Structure 1
Amino acid sequence: MASTNSWTHEIESPVTESRLFRAGVMDWHTLAPKLAPQIVASAHPVEGEGGIGSGSSTSPQERLEFIDVDKCECKSTLIEGGGIGTEIEMATSHIKVEQAANGESVVKVKSTYKLLLGVEVKDEITKAKDSVTTIFKAAEAYLIANPDTYN
């Protein structure tokens, strides 16, 4: 029986947690075409949530499990594409943007996944971490350039 695995990733940002959450999570489906067109090909919204894929030829789609705007936190489950059914049995992502001690913010991502029997992880975790970093750094750059957005 395949075991459940996980990885975590943190991204620091000078942007406040509420602004970064709104741009990088809540409105990413509308900002992505302008800010990170290379990711749009692998990000299709389901219930308003942009997907973070592993570069599979089938576009990933996610189901939003919960979102708490006040706590800048959400969880989603990969339901289609991104290796579901071919490499991955299940995958979830939990994102929380918190205020850092210095008044800046930190994005905390935890992804949990279960591979199908016989499948081994190669560089997919690195690709996933790079993708989520690209998303939040693009949102950060946009917010720095537009300081009145999401205030």
Structure 2
Amino acid sequence: MAVTTISNEFSCPIPPARLFKAAILDAHNLLPKIVPDKINGPFDFIKHQINEVDEQNFKCKFTLIEGAVIGEKIEKVVDTVQFMASADGGSIIKATSEFYTIGDYTMGEEEIQMGKDMAVGTFKMVEGYLLQNPDAYA
């Protein structure tokens, strides 16, 4: 088994507390509402195990254990996301995904880029919703 780690860091104009409430604490309600036909992307289902929720530091760690990319090549994916305050009043989002591969399988650049794009895309959808609904999760 090998581990491929993908790290992302990007900014968002939404403050960390509000973004954490929407994207993490209420994701199970919000995401199906704002992207009902795209929530799993090209996958039939996804199942996560929550490992850690740190509301004080706006941090969450969870493991993808079924569905999506889990199967013959990937055993599990451990995601860690943290929202940190930025100088402009928004957030800096730090996201790390650890792909635990099976056997000698190595992830290609295309798969790595797809993982990054999916993570950023999800947060950008939440950001768009919060910008359009300034009272939501306030």
Range class of TM-score, shorter chain: 0.7 to 0.9
| Structure 2, gaps ≥5 residues long | none
Q: Does residue 1:66 correspond to 2:52, yes or no? A: yes
Please name the residue that 1:78 is paired with: 64
Q: Which amino acid aligns with 1:81?
A: G
| Structure 1, gaps ≥5 residues long | 43-52
Q: Which amino acid aligns with 2:81?
A: I
TM-score, normalised via structure 1 length: 0.81
Deviation at 1:82, TM superposition (A): 2.4
Deviation at 1:84, TM superposition (A): 2.4
Are the structure 2 counterparts of residues 18 and 63 from structure 1 closer, same or farther at C-alpha, using a change threshold of 3 Å? same
Q: Which of 88, 102, 117 is residue 88 of structure 2 equivalent to?
A: 102
Residues 13, 105 of structure 1: 8 Å contact kept: yes
Aligned mates of 2:117, 2:69 — CA distance in 1: 17
CA RMSD across the alignment: 1.8
Q: Which of 108, 114, 135 is residue 127 of structure 1 equivalent to?
A: 114
Q: Which amino acid aligns with 1:3?
A: A
Please name the residue that 2:126 is paired with: 139
Deviations 1:42-76 (Å, cap 9, x if unpaired)?
2xxxxxxxxxx7x4x45221100010122111100
After the TM superposition, which segments of 4 or more aligned residues of structure 1 sit over 6 Å from their partners?
A: none
Instruction: State the secondary structure of the residue aligned to 1:39.
Output: coil
Aligned mates of 2:44, 2:125 — CA distance in 1: 24
Residues 32, 39 of structure 1: 8 Å contact kept: no
Aligned length: 137
Higher strand share: 2
Q: Does residue 1:113 correspond to 2:99, yes or no? A: yes
Deviation at 1:96, TM superposition (A): 0.4
Aligned mates of 2:99, 2:122 — CA distance in 1: 21
Deviations 1:78-129 (Å, cap 9, x if unpaired)?
1112232311123200000110123221111011122112423132222221
